[in-house]
Amino acid sequence: MELERPNIRPSAYGYVRALPELRSNAVAQLQSELARFAHQEGFALVEVCVEQRWLHTVAWDALVASCKRHDVRNVVVPDYRHLHSLPGLSFVMQRVIEDVVDGRVWCARSDAAVEEATVSSVGSAAE
């Protein structure tokens, strides 16, 4: 008799850059979006690293260190802007992280959805 193997999902870390144009509640919404995306793609989202200060890399460095320490090879971001605001440099950042963790960066949103998401998440921090 063959035993059924448990369905073990590979781990993934999330990364969100608190972009200046985001509303105050948008980061929590993005974290939920990453959790849904990871689950749909068959990953167990372990943690979401949030870069709180624009142009800093504290969370980025923690993400890379955690991936290497725990041998996690999947990173989920909402979209390319969370790696860099310029698409070309975002692509470079994506390749850098993929090389460092020997894995893959997954974007929860397609490039076409970025414009729509930008419009819906822009607002004042007081909202």
pLDDT tens readout for residues 39-70: 999 999 999 999 887 667 899 899 999 999 99
Sign of the torsion angle spanned by Cα atoms 107, 108, 113, 118: negative
What was the pLDDT predicted at 24?
A: 73
What digits encode the pLDDT tens for the residues 1-27?
555 555 689 999 999 988 777 777 888
Beta bridge partners of 14: 48, 76
- Report the C-alpha gap between 10 and 44 in whole angstroms: 6
State how far the Cα of 43 lies from the Cα of 62, in Å rounded to an integer: 20
If phi > 0 it is left, if psi is from -120 to 50 it is alpha, else beta; for residue 102 that is: left
**Residue of 43 and 121 predicted with greater confidence:** 43
Closest-CA residue to 15 (of 108, 110, 115): 108
